[in-house]
């Protein structure tokens, strides 16, 4: 592209050319301006062709970020340094692409100067970070390289990824803990009823008769009655077969704690839930989000499955690098049905979050309820590894992720040594 | 730098020395050029500009003598090429340097023609300009000597070399190539145009056509191709 100076120069010379040829025709003046015009046109085209030979790999970007607190706000002081690996010196302008959700402090001036050889330029600026931003994600930076006369330029948009985790304030952390620890409970009057062995839905109350089970008596409503003295029983409506789907995200983020303690706990949780549900006659389907497995290995979808098969499935719950292709989510969306209960075990951040999100979002569409189990990071790290900032960041990320997936019916935290408690809560809550 | 400003300076100086000097002519010339004096001299510059202007106006209105005002205006006219040369000498960026150079050259040339017309018709420089503006033309004047064409060519080359030297300090030889290619292309095109003008009378039309083609090519190559092709 032409720079502003270059464009103005072209306009100026062209205007002079017209003026001289029409109003003050003088041959050698006309020739002088003609010479300058031809020079300008050829110079710009040839320089631009040369600029096109500069590859993005020739430029080196380094970003330094310093976090500063001031006046109750968090600021990031960012320094972007641009250098060139080639010996060629070029005039350049560098400007960092501001991440979403943050506000630059003051006017954002690009860095200008020569790069190449030992020469480098540096852009320094400050960003104000909103209180609730858990993560500031830098993606790219723009570098404009110019010809020596600065009449033309080329823009190179270079990847310069970098994430900055923002520690949360005390109030936010407290509210986050409250949100994560609170679980959805059934409204008063519906009672808490084991899912196992039942596939009915609460539909109201009726007068108790001998055919009803004792545990179906609605004691609270009975106690509230003043005039009638007969017991009241809960009335249920047939909902169809309740299937249990267990989804485990096998991303490297589950590799947590000493001797892979979290993986062990997840395996125990899956085993416990599977055995309990299977014992009551509810079909259990197991799903793994693991990029190293084939689709057949990821999805254990059978009406009945032996314990050997279940153990084989559990043995595949290992942290796997890479990103899952997502086909398992499509398969899952076709299989999950109305009234099913889906248990998702995931530890965000994970490379497979998109796949997991698709599986979660498939639940309300199919009429299934979804329970998400996430590990409590603090219980899996030993004292030496405990870092309050890290924990706060982890919670902030989990909170923001949960806000994004609004189709979750219940969230449970998995703590070290409390696997059976978690399994019991999963089984007793819908 | 001296070579780069040689053509407008030589034309301007010759025009200046062709004039019959008078007080108001010199005051007009010096007062405008003195604008470029350092800031500490501005106490002298302001009266130097306003006093002759107000006095010559007073002479016109009160004494009905237009002579001082016409001489002062002629002095102002004489200063134009020198002002453009000074502006060019003070700049290092391509646009101000090139536009000031062309302005200085055009102003010096016009001045040279006006001065020689004034000398031939024995009228004031300013009145010749007025005559030209109201359509009476400069007809019958002398042609600019061919030597100035050579000086202008040398000055133009010196200007471009100076510009490159200012802007490309430390730049590798790789980026000197476009500069040399462009200089060669411009020289070739100008040579062809001069050759064409020896045989045909419409060389200025050809120059305009070539210039228009180059401008459009530039816009298309840099603008449209960049935006539409990515």
Contact call for B156 and A36, based on CB within 8 A: yes
Q: pLDDT tens for residues B156-206? A: 989 888 888 887 776 767 778 888 899 999 999 999 988 988 888 888 888
Distance from CA of A430 to the nearest CA of B (A): 54
Across A249-253, A301-305, A389-393, B28-32, the highest mean pLDDT is recorded for A249-253
* Tokens, residue A96: 């960092």
Question: What is the spatial distance between Cα A246 and Cα A284, in angstroms, rounded to a whole number?
Answer: 7
Q: pLDDT tens for residues A389-424? A: 778 888 888 888 888 887 788 888 888 878 887 887
Range A193-212 average pLDDT: 64
Share of chain A above pLDDT 90, in %: 6
* Tokens, residue A294: 């084939």
A170 pLDDT higher than 70: no
Helix A27-51 × helix B203-218 angle, to 10°: 20
Give the one of A1, A20, A114 whose C-beta lies nearest to B222's C-beta: A1
Give the one of A21, A34, A46 whose C-beta lies nearest to B182's C-beta: A46
Written as one string, the DSSP assignment of A56-77 is: GGGEEEEEEEEEEEETTEEEEE
At residue A201, the pLDDT reads 62
For A289, how many CA atoms within 13 A lie in the half-sphere containing its CB?
33
Distance from CA of A69 to the nearest CA of B (A): 41
Contact call for B109 and A26, based on CB within 8 A: yes
The helix (H) or strand (E) run that includes residue A180 is helix A170-181
Distance from CA of B99 to the nearest CA of A (A): 7
Least confident range from A146-150, A165-169, A208-212, B209-213: namely A165-169
Assign A197 a pLDDT band (cuts: 50, 70, 90): very low
Distance from CA of A95 to the nearest CA of B (A): 20
At residue A146, the pLDDT reads 87
At residue A249, the pLDDT reads 92
Q: pLDDT tens for residues A82-102? A: 988 877 788 889 998 888 778
Give the one of B95, B102, B205 whose C-beta lies nearest to A5's C-beta: B95
Give the one of A34, A89, A114 whose C-beta lies nearest to B207's C-beta: A34
Q: pLDDT tens for residues A347-389? A: 988 889 889 999 998 988 888 888 999 988 888 876 665 667 7
Range A303-319 average pLDDT: 75
Question: What is the spatial distance between Cα A402 and Cα A411, in angstroms, rounded to a whole number?
Answer: 9
Q: Cβ–Cβ contacts within 10 Å for residue A316, how many?
A: 17
Q: pLDDT tens for residues A245-289? A: 899 999 888 887 777 788 888 888 888 888 877 776 677 888 999
At residue A248, the pLDDT reads 93
At residue A179, the pLDDT reads 43
The helix (H) or strand (E) run that includes residue A33 is helix A27-51
At residue B29, the pLDDT reads 82
Residue given tokens 């999950």 in the structure block:
A336
Contact call for A41 and B99, based on CB within 8 A: no
Helix A4-22 × helix B203-218 angle, to 10°: 160
A181 pLDDT higher than 80: no
Contact call for A147 and B197, based on CB within 8 A: no
- Higher-pLDDT residue of A157 and A300 is A157
> Mean pLDDT over all residues of chain A?
79
What are the two backbone dihedrals, phi and then psi, of residue B168, each rounded to the nearest 5 degrees?
-115, 35
Written as one string, the DSSP assignment of B53-105 is: HHHHHHHHHHS---HHHHHHHHHHHHHHHHHHHHHHHH--SHHHHHHHHHHHH
Range A71-81 average pLDDT: 84
Question: What is the spatial distance between Cα A230 and Cα A241, in angstroms, rounded to a whole number?
Answer: 32
Distance from CA of B208 to the nearest CA of A (A): 7
Helix A4-22 × helix B94-121 angle, to 10°: 20
> Mean pLDDT over all residues of chain B?
81
Assign A346 a pLDDT band (cuts: 50, 70, 90): very high
Least confident range from A46-50, A128-132, A147-151, B25-29: namely A128-132
Assign A36 a pLDDT band (cuts: 50, 70, 90): very high
Per the CB < 8 A criterion, the answer to whether A116 and A84 are in contact is: yes
Question: What is the spatial distance between Cα B50 and Cα B230, in angstroms, rounded to a whole number?
Answer: 57
- Burial state string for B78-91 with b = 16 or more CB within 10 A and e = fewer than 16: bbbbbbbbbbbbeb
Disruptive mutation site among A4, A21, A43 for chain B (greatest number of B CBs within 10 Å): A43
ipTM attached to this prediction: 0.85
Range A230-250 average pLDDT: 77
Contact call for B217 and A45, based on CB within 8 A: yes
Q: Enumerate the β-bridge partners of residue A84.
A: A59
A136 pLDDT higher than 70: yes
Ramachandran assignment for A340, one of left (phi > 0), alpha (psi -120 to 50 degrees), beta (any other): beta
- Higher-pLDDT residue of A191 and A268 is A268
Range A189-204 average pLDDT: 50
CA-closest candidate to residue A37, choices B212, B103, B198: B212
CA-closest candidate to residue A135, choices A400, A406, A413: A400
Distance from CA of B20 to the nearest CA of A (A): 26
DSSP letter, residue A126: E
Nearest-CA residue of chain B relative to A147?
A: B175
CA-closest candidate to residue A270, choices A302, A296, A300, A239: A300
Q: pLDDT tens for residues B73-129? A: 888 888 888 888 888 888 888 888 899 999 998 888 888 888 887 777 777 777 777
Written as one string, the DSSP assignment of B119-179 is: HHHT--HHHHHHHHHTT---TT-PPPPHHHHHHHHHHHHHHHHHHHHHH-TT--GGGHHHH
- Higher-pLDDT residue of A340 and A181 is A340
At residue A373, the pLDDT reads 92
Its pTM stands at 0.56
- Higher-pLDDT residue of A222 and A236 is A222
C-alpha dist (Å) from residue A65 to A112, A128, A167, A351, B203? 20, 13, 14, 25, 62
**Chain A / chain B CB contacts < 8 angstroms:** 167
What residues contact residue A49 under an 8 Å CB cut-off, 6+ apart?
B178
Give the one of A10, A31, A43 whose C-beta lies nearest to B194's C-beta: A31
Contact call for B190 and A151, based on CB within 8 A: no
| Chain A residues near residue B174 by CB distance under 8 angstroms | 50, 88
Give the one of A10, A44, A148 whose C-beta lies nearest to B168's C-beta: A148
Nearest-CA residue of chain A relative to B172?
A: A88
């Amino acid at each position: 592209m032409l720079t502003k100076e270059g464009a103005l120069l072209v306009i100026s010379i062209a205007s002079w050319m017209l003026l001289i040829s029409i109003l003050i025709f003088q041959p050698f003046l006309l020739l002088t301006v003609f010479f300058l015009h031809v020079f300008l046109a050829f110079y710009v085209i040839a320089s631009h062709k040369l600029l096109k030979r500069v590859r993005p790999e020739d430029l080196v970007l380094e970003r330094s970020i310093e976090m500063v607190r001031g006046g109750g706000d968090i600021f990031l002081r960012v320094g972007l340094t641009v250098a060139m690996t080639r010996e060629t010196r070029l005039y350049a302008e560098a400007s960092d692409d501001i991440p979403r959700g943050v506000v630059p402090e003051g006017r954002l001036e690009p860095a200008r100067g020569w790069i190449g050889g030992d020469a480098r330029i540096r852009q320094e600026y400050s960003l104000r970070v909103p209180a609730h931003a858990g993560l500031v994600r830098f993606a790219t930076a723009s570098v404009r390289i110019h010809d020596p006369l600065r009449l033309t330029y080329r823009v190179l948009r270079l990847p310069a990824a970098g994430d900055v985790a923002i520690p949360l304030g005390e109030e936010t952390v407290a509210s986050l803990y409250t949100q994560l620890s609170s679980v959805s409970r059934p409204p008063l009057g519906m009672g808490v009823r084991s899912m196992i062995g039942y596939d009915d839905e609460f539909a109201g109350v009726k007068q108790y008769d001998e055919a009803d089970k004792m545990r179906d008596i609605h004691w609270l409503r009975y106690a509230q009655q003043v005039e009638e003295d007969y017991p009241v029983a809960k009335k249920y409506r047939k909902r169809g077969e309740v299937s249990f789907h267990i989804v485990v995200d096998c991303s490297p983020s589950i590799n947590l704690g000493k001797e892979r303690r979290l993986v062990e706990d997840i395996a125990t949780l899956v085993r416990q839930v599977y055995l309990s549900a299977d014992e009551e006659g509810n079909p259990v389907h197991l799903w793994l989000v693991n990029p190293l497995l084939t689709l057949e290995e990821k999805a254990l979808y059978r009406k009945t499955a032996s314990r050997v098969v279940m153990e084989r499935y559990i043995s595949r719950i290992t942290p796997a690098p890479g990103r899952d292709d997502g086909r398992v989510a499509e398969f899952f969306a076709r299989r999950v049905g109305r009234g099913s209960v889906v248990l998702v075990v995931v530890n965000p951040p994970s490379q497979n979050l998109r796949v997991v999100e698709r599986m979660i979002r498939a639940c309300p569409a199919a009429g299934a309820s979804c329970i998400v189990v996430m590990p409590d990071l603090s219980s899996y790290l030993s004292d030496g590894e405990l870092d309050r900032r890290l924990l706060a960041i982890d919670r902030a990320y989990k909170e923001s992720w949960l806000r994004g997936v609004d189709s979750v019916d219940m969230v449970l935290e998995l703590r070290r040594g409390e696997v059976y408690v978690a399994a019991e809560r999963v089984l007793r809550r819908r | 730098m001296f070579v780069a400003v040689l053509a407008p300076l030589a034309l301007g100086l010759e025009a200046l020395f062709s004039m019959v000097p008078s007080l108001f002519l010199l005051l007009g010339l010096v007062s405008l050029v003195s604008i470029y004096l350092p800031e500490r001299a501005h106490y002298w510059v302001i009266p130097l500009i306003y006093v002759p202007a107000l006095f010559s106006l007073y002479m016109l209105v009160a004494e009905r003598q237009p002579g001082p005002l016409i001489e002062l205006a002629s002095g102002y006219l004489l200063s134009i090429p020198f002002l453009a040369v000074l502006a060019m000498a003070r700049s290092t960026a391509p646009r101000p340097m090139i536009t000031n150079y062309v302005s200085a050259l055009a102003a010096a040339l016009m001045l040279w023609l006006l001065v020689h017309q004034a000398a031939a018709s024995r009228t004031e420089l300013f009145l010749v300009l007025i005559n030209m503006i109201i359509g009476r033309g400069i007809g019958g004047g002398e042609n600019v000597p061919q030597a100035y064409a050579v000086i202008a060519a040398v000055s133009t080359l010196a200007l471009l070399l100076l510009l490159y030297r200012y802007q490309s300090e430390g730049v590798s030889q790789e980026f000197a190539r476009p500069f040399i290619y462009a200089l060669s292309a411009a020289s070739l095109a100008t040579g062809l145009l001069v050759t064409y003008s020896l045989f045909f009378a419409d060389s200025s039309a050809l120059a305009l056509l070539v210039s228009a083609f180059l401008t459009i090519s530039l816009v298309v190559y840099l603008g449209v191709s960049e935006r539409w092709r990515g």
